[in-house]
Structure 1
Amino acid sequence: MPVNSILGVFAKSPIKPLQDHIDKVYDCASVLVPFFEASMSGNWDRAVELRKQISQLEREADLLKREIRLTLPSGLFMPVERTDLLELLTQQDKIANKAKDISGRVIGRQLQVPASMQAPFLAYLTRCVDAAHLAKNAINELDELLETGFRGREVDLVAKMIAELDLIEEDTDDLQIQVRRQLFAMEAELNPVDVMFLYKIIEWVGDLADLSERVGSRLELLLARV
């Protein structure tokens, strides 16, 4: 996006570029579901295509991040600190980075989740992506918050979303424990190196929910300072 164009967006709302970024971040994370479905079925050609899609979305999110950092005015006429918006942006961006890391590691080793773990793993992954979706929805309420002066029912709505994010993150912790226990039970049947990488993938998938919860925490802090 040209500088003049993004400055025009900021002239209307300093929130809109942040929302464009979280939309791109969520798109990136959501592709992990079909990506893992392809890898689990052994369709590596499809998995590679989806990995490229994730990488492209991560690059687009990264470009948006850089443009926002370069063009976000230092004197915004709104009750939100520039530093708070930039910190929120940083947390958002980490979700896309993690999605790219996960897909890269799986493709690099053609790593497959064992058949007996696939259903619970996909449930776990989907719940983690749910957290990214809710983080996106919360950020997309910021323009409404701005219009209402960060007061009233809109604040209550966002507060409920942030509380739900905490609950989803707790759910993913429980699901992670279950998936890890299943892997532990079958360690002896698997390649030891693959086991090590599978534990890392399980951890990184959980990071998607943790990072989404941090987006909610940063948003909560931002609201508290208004």
Structure 2
Amino acid sequence: MRIPFLYRILKSPFDEGLQEHTEKVKECAWAFQQAMESLISGNGLSFENHKQEVIRIKSESDAITRRIRGHLPGLGLLSMNKYQLLMYLKEEDKILDAIDRILGLLAGNSSTKIPDMMKKDIYLLVDTAIELVEELSNLVIESGKYLKSYSEKQRNNIKKCANLLRQKKQEATQIENSLIRKAFALETDPVSIFLMAKLIESISSISLYAEHAGDMMQAMLS
């Protein structure tokens, strides 16, 4: 078993902005959640404000990603596999890209309204996706602590976070399937049905990418 002393020798990606990047992803997810609430409630101005906030946070996150990538060549002694680290960042960036894509879709089709019968479940799908991002953040925090102590307690905390991620992902899939059925049952034009299905799938993809990032984090620690 590795010992905490090794942490002093090996460079930790958490020291190079990994946890900072995850926090930006969470911050962006919160802004997205508020944007969706504004959209569903019909507050166009608030939606646009939160959309701009997402753009700002995403830009800050991209800068952190570039910084981490820039530091990798000099980190000869890294406590994690570099390839896995880059794959982890890629999954987190997919979360940001999905949020950006969703808001772009909604902004470009402002006349598209979410049917009343679907609003509650859309709220639930968004909230579940945000919960996955929050749990991913918890996983990263616990992983950073584990690399400093290698204690069994921290390892168990990581397992709990990972289990919660999988559980929440299953919930998101169930909500997505229910919403897709409702979307195709709508009595409206095919374009509106397509856009609604696209929206549902895109929101659900946030949960998928968060789960993938969690899996990659566990792989880095193994």
Listed one character per residue, the Cα deviations across residues 148-182 of structure 1 (whole Å, up to 9, x for unaligned) are: 1x342101110111111111101100011111122
- Structure 2 match to 1:162: 162
Runs of 4 or more above 6 Å deviation: none
- Structure 1 match to 2:72: 72
- Structure 2 match to 1:206: 204
Aligned length: 211
- Structure 2 match to 1:7: none
How far 1:185 sits from its partner (Å)?
2.0
- Structure 1 match to 2:134: 133
CA–CA separation in structure 2 for the residues paired with 1:30 and 1:82: 29
- Structure 2 match to 1:115: 116
The percentage of counterpart residues that share the same residue type is: 23
- Structure 2 match to 1:144: 145
Listed one character per residue, the Cα deviations across residues 82-119 of structure 1 (whole Å, up to 9, x for unaligned) are: 22222211111111111111111111111321112101
Q: For 2:68, what is the secondary structure of its paired residue?
A: helix
- Structure 1 match to 2:4: none
Deviates more, 1:156-165 or 1:29-38: 29-38
- Structure 1 match to 2:221: 223
Retained in 2: the 8 A contact 1:38–1:47? yes
Q: Partner letter of residue 36 of structure 2? A: F
- Structure 2 match to 1:53: 53
- Structure 2 match to 1:15: 14
For the structure 1 residues 13 and 219, does the alpha-carbon distance in structure 2 shift closer, same or farther, using more than 3 Å as the test? closer
Q: For 1:112, what is the secondary structure of its paired residue?
A: coil
CA–CA separation in structure 1 for the residues paired with 2:113 and 2:18: 35
Deviates more, 1:213-222 or 1:35-44: 35-44
Q: For 2:13, what is the secondary structure of its paired residue?
A: coil
Q: Partner letter of residue 155 of structure 1? A: R
Q: For 1:99, what is the secondary structure of its paired residue?
A: helix
Which structure 2 residues correspond to residues 86-101 of structure 1 after superposition, within 5 A? 86-101=86-101
- Structure 1 match to 2:189: 191
CA–CA separation in structure 1 for the residues paired with 2:103 and 2:85: 28
How far 1:142 sits from its partner (Å)?
2.4
Q: For 1:179, what is the secondary structure of its paired residue?
A: helix
How far 1:223 sits from its partner (Å)?
1.7
Retained in 1: the 8 A contact 2:11–2:75? no
Q: Partner letter of residue 180 of structure 2? A: R
For the structure 1 residues 210 and 146, does the alpha-carbon distance in structure 2 shift closer, same or farther, using more than 3 Å as the test? same
CA–CA separation in structure 2 for the residues paired with 1:217 and 1:76: 24
Unaligned 5+ runs, structure 1: 1-10
Q: For 1:15, what is the secondary structure of its paired residue?
A: helix
For the structure 1 residues 173 and 155, does the alpha-carbon distance in structure 2 shift closer, same or farther, using more than 3 Å as the test? same
Q: Partner letter of residue 37 of structure 1? A: E
How far 1:72 sits from its partner (Å)?
2.8
Retained in 1: the 8 A contact 2:28–2:54? yes
Q: Partner letter of residue 193 of structure 1? A: V
Q: Partner letter of residue 49 of structure 2? A: E
Retained in 2: the 8 A contact 1:23–1:136? yes
